[in-house]
Structure formats: structure tokens, C-alpha cells
Amino acid sequence: MNLSLDKRIVAVVGHFGSGKTEFCVNYALERAKTSNKTALIDLDIANPYFRSREKRSLLESTGIKVFGSFYQSEITAELPALTANARFPLEDKTYKVTVDVGGDASGSMILIQFFKYFVEGDYELLCVINKNRPETASMEGALSHIDRIEKETGLKITGLINNTHLLRETSVDDIIRGYRFCQEISEELKIPIRFSCCPVLLYEELCRKDISAAMKDGILPVALHMRETWLDKKP
């Protein structure tokens, strides 16, 4: 994966079910391979499911500092209480920071209180697009989603993440179809596609496909850390 465009602060937004948190966890783990001072801030305090702070042990085992909920135990992880030290890695410019933001426009509003840290040229605000989600399955829906987030936060989306998937039923064709959809959004809004998420087991197959160099350069192999296997078992 090409991290040459990696900004110090990378905040990620996306609709519920888009795979935003899975991307954040995998991306933070990838960044930790090349930087010894990395942090993940979980600002998704509105959503009680699939929170990146649930993977605190995994992240901290690789040296990633985790900030977010005031509470440390899983039994209280769903409470919408943000610790004051969430600002620490944003203020310390020696840290590379991944920010997992609330799911939709209302969830993204939490960025307003951190607005001063989003200095042009020092951050990316990436939007995850999953074409298999009904809210972002059409151009109209995707563009409306992005527009609402920008209006609520006062920040511009700087890049797209193609994360078109069907969990463990995802195929290479799904990923390529999602990339083409993101290309349409990219052309309409004049913002680049930064990444295409790909399940680890499909990475080699995707790389063998006749895809553009730009797509290949932005592939992020994704392990399903947030999705327990039993959730995908058929009855």
C-alpha cells in the first residue's frame, strides 16, 4: 500500500455499516509499521456497535495509543462519554493520528469541537463508500451523504475510500465495481480515491486483475478484526 500521501491526522467518516471502523483499525495497524508514535482516537460515541476502542488490546499491543471513551471496561464502552485527553495526540505533532468519527452527518458533528486541529495540508478527511449499502448505493445518495457531512462539520472531504464489500461473501468483482463507482464520485466532486479495501484472502487475486496502477497502489488488505466469525454463520 502506498502511504506517500499519508498526512499526520487522518479522520475517517462513513455511513453506518460502511466498514469505517474496520478500515480505521486496519489503517492504524498499517501506520504503526512505519511510525513508532501512532494513535487512534475513537470519536464514534453515538454508535453502540463495532467501536474501534473495543480493539484496545490489539492496538496497544502494536504500540498504538488509544483514546476515546472515558470508560475503559467493555461493559461501559457504549456510554457516550469522551475523555479529555483525546486531544493529546492531536496537539502533539510527533504523533500520526487516525480518527474514527461518528457514522453519519449527525455523528460527524463531534469534529466541530476539534476544528482547530484540522489545519489545511496537515490532515485528510476521508469518506468510506460502500456501494452495497442502500444509503450510498446511488450517486444521488453518496453525494447527498458527503454534502451533509461537509455542512455539519464545516470541513471538506479530501478523499474517498472504496470499501464495497459483503463481509465474508465479498468478491474481487465487488471491489472493482465499487472502485468504478467511486471514480464517478471522484470525477463529480474533484476529490481523489485514496484507498480500496480488500479482504486479506482476496489481495493476491485482486492484484492479478487488469486494474489501473492507481487502484493497485491504493489497495489496503483488510483483516476482519471487528466482525466475530459467529456473526456470519448461517442458521
CB 220 within 8 Å of CB 193: no
pLDDT digits (tens, 9 = 90+) for 9-24: 999 999 888 889 999 9
Whole-model pTM: value is 0.87
Q: Which CATH architecture has domain 9-228?
A: 3-Layer(aba) Sandwich (3.40)
Annotated domain spans of the chain: 9-228
Mean model confidence pLDDT for the chain: 86
What proportion of the chain, given as a percentage, has pLDDT over 70?
83
pLDDT (average), residues 165-170:
87
DSSP letters, 50-84, are S-GGGGHHHHHHTTEEEE-BS--SGGGTTS--B-G
pLDDT digits (tens, 9 = 90+) for 103-120: 677 778 888 889 999 988
73: cell is 471496561
Of 31, 27, 168, 193, the C-alpha closest to 100 is: 27
Of 151, 16, 43, the C-alpha closest to 99 is: 43
